[in-house]
Structure 1
């Protein structure tokens, strides 16, 4: 019996894997500060916090940037990639969130250099200053791997959800079963988040509570995470 597998699906599973060497596990994106403030204290409140972040940040900002970068990568449009990168940088509200998108972006470009040195978009990403940012590079890499836009955004959203679920397990803390239930809530909401991102004419950034707790995390006494 013979089977066939779409290579682009395997590449998306790879990109969504927590084993991708970009350091995503070291960031909680404000979750740890929300735990310290008592806003997040159990499975339900962790799920509520992350669902809000999925709907207000991922669906309206990060995923639309990745979608636009996917198109710009296919067109080898260096001007559009630079515009998206600059927008991502100027909408980071804290030094930690700025550090995160740059560090993870640089790491993903280094991964791409190692495994896809002949990718046509690679020099355009390497030229982004002061550093390539995570959502821009993710969209570009997905395009370079031959992934269609909608499944690419689903994979990016799932990778984010799995990483933040693991951050919740460590910081709240939660048991593994609770973490899987939390992930199920996020997975159920991902299709709507992707639909919102695909319909967005431009990325939008407005999540003041996340910015406040991201700033508080920078002076938090005891921390496991870098954001």
Structure 2
């Protein structure tokens, strides 16, 4: 049955708890460090132009066509749809934007930024600590499965392009490489800045999440593009916050998102692995 018809004939009971991962406060999007952001504002000088080869490599890394399985995860969004809280474009867009600022900008993006620098410095101990942090802060079995599976798949893809992959990963991370740390390795092999690497990571995530919303709500392609356009405007602020985060400012605390992920593990009808 078409979405419009279904909505017209269904009585929907509003949930008593906001279905989004958390409620986003105005200062959570502040880029000047005055709210709850990490650290203080950084250098505002315009970045140097990115060499064409490095730009194309980042686009490649962020592409949904990369064979790492990102398209197969909704990160709890599908459970939000099943529960009844995410029932249209507006709520799906708010859900993903909140997740960008409350989860990605405070956890995975700071790890990507710090791991790019660590890979370039050859600091194996630092890389290992960052990888351990990701493993230890995943709040559900599905979230842990996702980061490990995508990390392994990215390493396998990198083997086709770099001869020293076994040496780089062997003694440092063994088998449990996480996706943010593996992505940081790939970005560190380009001439891209840390900021550009984080932008690519965030946009690749945004494309996958938008695709998950289009399929699970469901939504039309035009709605998906509007959502992606909104995220493209909000990603730079999320990246700036991530670049300011120190080790003791990283966090992974999104309890409602974790609840949705746990519910999804036993959800009867589903399209996605998370």
* The two structures share one fold, judged by TM-score above 0.5: yes
Query: Residues 125-170 of structure 1, C-alpha deviation per residue, up to 9 Å, x if partnerless?
Result: 3441441000011111101122211111111100000110000000
Does 2:214 correspond to 1:169? yes
Q: How does 1:60-139 map onto structure 2 within 5 Å?
A: 60-118=106-164, 123-127=167-171, 128-139=173-184
- Secondary structure, aligned partner of 2:107: helix
**Cα distance between partner residues in 1 of 2:155 and 2:67:** 11
**Cα distance between partner residues in 2 of 1:198 and 1:100:** 24
Runs of 4+ in 1 over 6 A off after TM superposition: none
Tell me the CA shift for residue 224 of structure 1. Answer: 0.4
| Contact 2:150-2:178 within 8 A present in 1 as well | yes
| Contact 1:17-1:159 within 8 A present in 2 as well | yes
**Cα distance between partner residues in 2 of 1:53 and 1:117:** 36
Does 2:218 correspond to 1:182? no
**Cα distance between partner residues in 2 of 1:113 and 1:126:** 12
> Which residue is 2:252 aligned to?
205
> Which residue is 1:220 aligned to?
267
**Cα distance between partner residues in 2 of 1:49 and 1:81:** 31
Does 2:78 correspond to 1:32? yes
| Contact 1:125-1:137 within 8 A present in 2 as well | no
| Structure 1 spans left out of the alignment, 5+ residues | none
| TM-score for the superposition, normalised by structure 1 | 0.94
**Cα distance between partner residues in 2 of 1:86 and 1:125:** 14
Task: Name the larger-Rg structure.
Answer: 2
Distance 1:7 1:189, change over 3 A: same
Range with greater deviation from structure 2 (137-146 or 17-26) = 137-146
| Contact 1:126-1:132 within 8 A present in 2 as well | no
- Secondary structure, aligned partner of 1:60: coil
**Cα distance between partner residues in 2 of 1:100 and 1:13:** 22
> Which has the larger share of helix?
1
| Contact 1:60-1:204 within 8 A present in 2 as well | yes
**Cα distance between partner residues in 2 of 1:107 and 1:196:** 28
> Which residue is 1:191 aligned to?
236
